[in-house]
Amino acid sequence: MTFQLPGDIALLRAGLRQGLAGLGFADDGVLLRGPVNWSVRDGEPAVATVDIELDERFPFAPPVLRVHDVGADVPLTWHIEPGGALCLWDRADSTPADWSTARAVVARVQGWLEKTAAGWPDDNDCDLERYIPGTQDPVLVLCDLVELGDVTGCVQVLPTGRGVVRVSPEQRPVPPEDPQGAPATEEREPGVGRECG
């Protein structure tokens, strides 16, 4: 996908906003809020309410998405940035075409919700560095696969030096949620990140 600046960018932004409006999203000029139909375990239907923001990086980076209401009794603990934004695209394997249409964005959220409800089976994305608070410097994540064994759930990552963290086999409880359903981030110990999955 190539862009003729700045006209094409404005058209892409407007096109996504119009497409989302056509899918039932309300647009206040900054935030788009709307329904995402998805299937909980065993095909039980649910409707989540999702907030979408096209920040200054769009379309070169994906829109920022947050779940306002999951629409089911499913804790949102996996693949969420510290500020509550969903981790929907792998930076290395994505292009702007992946988030250029409303249907593509909504389908991605549906898949994320369904994987979250299922506990992220077969999730092999080693992306702990995205959830470690602190520096923008490169981070090296070290773990001992034998030591970790079959550990599932939330794990602790401990800083060991400049830009290096170690994944601990010590399990942690699922982080508490704030009243709006986003994982709480302010209660984390300084320098300690947690990845649930």
Helices 102-118 and 7-22 meet at what angle, rounded to 10?
Answer: 60
What is the spatial distance between Cα 3 and Cα 8, in angstroms, rounded to a whole number? 6
Res 5: pLDDT: 59
Pick the closest to residue 144 from 125, 121, 162, 170 (CA basis). 170
Res 177: pLDDT: 53
Mean pLDDT per 10-residue interval, the chain, length 197 residues: 69 95 97 97 93 94 96 86 86 85 97 90 66 64 77 70 74 56 44 43
Res 123: pLDDT: 75
> What pTM was estimated for this model as a whole?
0.69
Q: Where are the domains of the chain?
A: 7-118, 128-196
Res 196: pLDDT: 44
Q: How many CB atoms lie within 10 A of CB 52?
A: 25
Res 186: pLDDT: 38
The CATH fold assigned to 7-118 is: Ubiquitin Conjugating Enzyme (3.10.110)
